[in-house]
Amino acid sequence: MLNVARLRVLRELHLRGTLAAVADALSYTPSAVSQQLSQLEKEAGVQLLEKVGRGVRLTDQAITLVGHTEAILARLELAESELAAAQPEVRGVLRVASFQSVVLELAPAALTLLAERHPLLQVEITQRDEVLGSSGLLAHEFDVVLGEEFPGGPHEIRSGIDREDLLRDPLLLAMPSHGPLADLPADVTQLADAPWALDPADLAMGAWSRDVCRSAGFEPDVRFDTPDPLLQAHLVRSGHAVALLPSLIADAHLHGTRLASLPGNPHRRLYTAARAGRSGHPSIRAFRSALAHAARG
């Protein structure tokens, strides 16, 4: 019979690409990973790996086996969720990946509520951008990932992932209320010469922000390239830049600035994602409920 632990090693190799990355993820040595995969080949009776340069790649038979492994792991998580649901208390450790604005504005209230309702549940939050968080979800590093979707870029929902929308968060133009930039019109189409504070272009918010500027007819003069919305907000408050920021942080961090809506009143959509087999686990249901309560204010 095929060994589930060894099947997971094969799946990790499919996800991560190298034996070294699998070893690091599973706290094995590379030689131990190789041994596990060699033993799995004997159990399966087919070739699972072939050498490519200094590395290896999965054969077609191995890819087929990974698909079955996904189904097996999902079924095991479903069983664990049903057993946990039969317990009188929500307990254990819940691993969450989130980005900064949610950690700042929603997570504290959600954690307070969870501590009151479910004191035996321990929530661990790691700040990750969405791409790394989603990869970690698939690799079982996280149980829940907070994601964001921007206008014009709807996400494909991968098979085996359960997504639950959290809120629609308006996106705003933030401008200084004092200093030389205070006289700029609160109209993005007239800010071609303004200094901008934007997320890096390879992040979803950064790509969307640049698209907004290009749609207004100009390439933004990005003086401050940072993924930190609090730094962007501070640069606006102190009179050094204009920025595009989510309204989620407006009440706490954008006092002393001028806020204006954008053409079409765009918003980002915030959501939670969990593996489908684990989405019914009491800890995930409790976390989603507390987060939704926090979002409603």
Is a pLDDT exceeding 70 seen at residue 129?
Answer: yes
* Euclidean distance between CA atoms 77 and 27, whole angstroms: 21
**What mean pLDDT comes out for the span 192-221?**
96
* Euclidean distance between CA atoms 83 and 33, whole angstroms: 31
* Res. 131 pLDDT band, cuts 50 70 90: confident
- The tens digit of pLDDT for each residue in 50-109 reads 988 888 899 999 999 999 999 999 999 999 999 999 999 999 999 999 988 888 899 999
Residue 154 confidence (pLDDT): 62
Residue 55 confidence (pLDDT): 85
Domains of the chain are 4-83 (1.10.10.10), 90-168+269-296 (3.40.190.10), 169-267 (3.40.190.290)
Residue 155 confidence (pLDDT): 66
- The tens digit of pLDDT for each residue in 16-30 reads 888 898 888 888 888
User: Which residues does 27 contact at the CB level (< 8 Å), separation at least 6?
Assistant: none
